[in-house]
Structure 1
């Protein structure tokens, strides 16, 4: 139909260490906490502040180089959806907006570097990282997650 969707998730190959499992669980939950902020009248900063507070409360850092984004006829549109910030700041969320939330959390510092292929991002300090993402549509009373596989579960 000419519209885009965007989703991502972190998964394990093999048996992960407990600290990796915890990072992934906190990242997944931070996405859900961000989604829970979305409703008409809220602010984009509410999403970022909620994710940042939750992640940092568990000892993780929030990557600043990547953010969520508006999505529609084009894959990347305005607004940018930061995963850090201040409550009550930023663009007002309105019914009909479609955007992604895609927090990326690091076990170490938030800094990334892009490898020579100009695509692969890795943490500068070689720490573990996790990311989850959903595409959302703001409804009259809240939000619809467009990229849930069965419409009900987290992924």
Structure 2
């Protein structure tokens, strides 16, 4: 992911519409939601994965309900930046999702997102069971917030400019 890819995604995703962030795991999908101004990411929910079609239908329903303009999907790169089987699985999920949910997609480096969230939960003395409930949607929020921060550094491309309309 380079700045040009992020800028192109920001332009392609309709301004004034929220973004959704996904942390794709083998058993769960963590989901986060941006505000309309694309400044703040908040954890939304965790989907327990069943099969692709019902998972995709659930995502499509959330995208419709929250008026989503684009998807930010965590890309689990290896520490050396190369793509392994998990990254390929994320790309495959997005490819299969495109006919069901034709929105702009940005893959965003998610290295260490789960570790950062887990460390924060441990520092907050969160129980193991509670960490299990929270980690995926918080990782999705971490990924989405990182993306929003980069987008904001690009001069607000793709953000809602309602406050500037005075």
Category of TM-score, reference length = shorter chain: 0.3 to 0.5
TM-score using structure 2 length:
0.33
Higher relative contact order (CA 8 A, sep 6+): 2
TM-score using structure 1 length:
0.35
Structure (1/2) with the larger helix percentage = 2
